[in-house]
Structure 1
Amino acid sequence: MLPSLCMLACSRILGLSLGTAALFAAGANMALLFPNWDVTYLLRGLVGRHAMLGTGLWGGGLMVLTAAILISLTGWRYGCFRKSGLCRSVLAGLLSSGLALLGALICFVTSGVALKDGPFCMFDVSSFNQTQAWKYGYPFRDLHSRNYLYDRSLWNSVCLEPSKAVVWHVAFFSALLCVSLLQLLLVVVHIINSFLGLFCSLCEK
């Protein structure tokens, strides 16, 4: 009886933790859609494709939140899980973990690519060729010799609009990267917890 109780208690904690992380991921992605809290960039279609993909909303957000709710329900033995046996609870937990794992992994990969490519902003094309013109794009993808993440002198000199575009991009995509990594670790812990609970209960019987 003790192993199953420990498994249920762990599921409650992990479900709450995953749900909180999912809300943080959704909030970070929402902020990326409104640079400097200005809605006009979104309305004009001047938001980067990594933010528009919304993986923090539907991947690290909705998918992980759905899984977190299911994990919490199994932990609290609530609703349809009230009279479910251990095997059914473990199976539901593993399916929920798979959903959360997929959502967190998608968010993690997208955030990593976004940090590599840099922000979508208006920059002076003459910095890269002889044509004097300003346009929106990804200026840091063309700087193969310099990594903008380590060269802070580029942060205020390349992107002309939105103001502090690099800081906004790096801050929130770094937050998404860290949150999705935390989600992945929590899911792995939950998978281990589910298998240990099942194994210990079978040995106890």
Structure 2
Amino acid sequence: MCMGQCARFVGLSLITLSLVCIVANALLLVPNGETTWTKADKLSLQVWLMAGFFGGGLMVLCPGIAAVRAGGKGCCGAGCCGNRCRMLRSVFCSALGMIGAIYCVSVSGTGLRDGPICSTNRSWVSPFKETKGSYLLNRTMWGLCEEPPNVVTWHVTLFSLLLAASCLELVLCGVQVVNAAMGVLCGDCRKKGAPE
């Protein structure tokens, strides 16, 4: 596969994954799809850190766009520098994307380990924080949360989605760093006059 084609594939994948992260983070702000519980004391710190919006979202969206552009014709076409300028920009953007993905992985993992804040015996607490993640394997414990309804399922599903998406983003950004670095050193493998 040509370096330009690889960059386009990776870029489109990163754009899709970043949008998934943004939507998942937005849904975490409205437990059970309702705004009734969207208050600072009723959502966990990991939700408010917006790792899916900033880390896995915007910080990965930029390298995705840069990778798609790197897969197109360069500033000089197929002539003097080919795509090397855009490939070099993609190296730096992808490195930034890796930082964002790492941020999203760490916050999502912590969010899964600590669990949601919910109403238990009429007080809003984080009942699973001391379990160090063992509540994930014991679904009977999930009944401790009275409000919001189905909050544990909501929390676990969305943070798991964020964790999986950001792990993929981390791998794809790493692939694009290597691919773009090779593109800078070797130039684009497409022949002169090849379509974008």
TM-score by length of 1: 0.82
Superposed counterparts of 1:1-205, under 5 Å: 6-43=2-39, 45-77=41-73, 81-83=74-76, 85=81, 86-124=83-121, 134-143=122-131, 147-156=134-143, 158-201=144-187
Q: Cα distance, 1:43 vs. partner?
A: 4.5
TM-score by length of 2: 0.86
Tell me, in whole angstroms, the C-alpha distance in 1 between the residues paired with 2:85 and 2:187.
Answer: 13
Q: Cα distance, 1:7 vs. partner?
A: 1.0
Q: Cα distance, 1:9 vs. partner?
A: 1.1
The one-letter code sitting in structure 1 at the alignment partner of 2:130 is: D
Tell me, in whole angstroms, the C-alpha distance in 1 between the residues paired with 2:28 and 2:164.
Answer: 15
Q: Cα distance, 1:192 vs. partner?
A: 2.0
- The answer as to whether partners of 2:69 and 2:86 remain within 8 angstroms in 1 is no
Tell me, in whole angstroms, the C-alpha distance in 1 between the residues paired with 2:55 and 2:40.
Answer: 25
The count of corresponding residues between Structure 1 and Structure 2 is 184
Q: Cα distance, 1:141 vs. partner?
A: 1.4
SS at match of 1:139: coil
Tell me, in whole angstroms, the C-alpha distance in 2 between the residues paired with 1:98 and 1:197.
Answer: 15
- The answer as to whether partners of 2:75 and 2:85 remain within 8 angstroms in 1 is no
SS at match of 2:123: strand
SS at match of 1:136: strand
SS at match of 2:135: coil
Specify the alignment match of 1:130 in structure 2. none
Structure 2 residues not aligned, in runs of 5+:
189-196
The one-letter code sitting in structure 2 at the alignment partner of 1:121 is: C
Tell me how large the CA RMSD over aligned residues is.
2.0
Tell me, in whole angstroms, the C-alpha distance in 2 between the residues paired with 1:143 and 1:58.
Answer: 28
Q: Cα distance, 1:199 vs. partner?
A: 4.4
- The answer as to whether partners of 2:18 and 2:61 remain within 8 angstroms in 1 is yes
Percent identity at matched positions?
36
Structure 1 residues not aligned, in runs of 5+:
125-133
SS at match of 2:146: strand
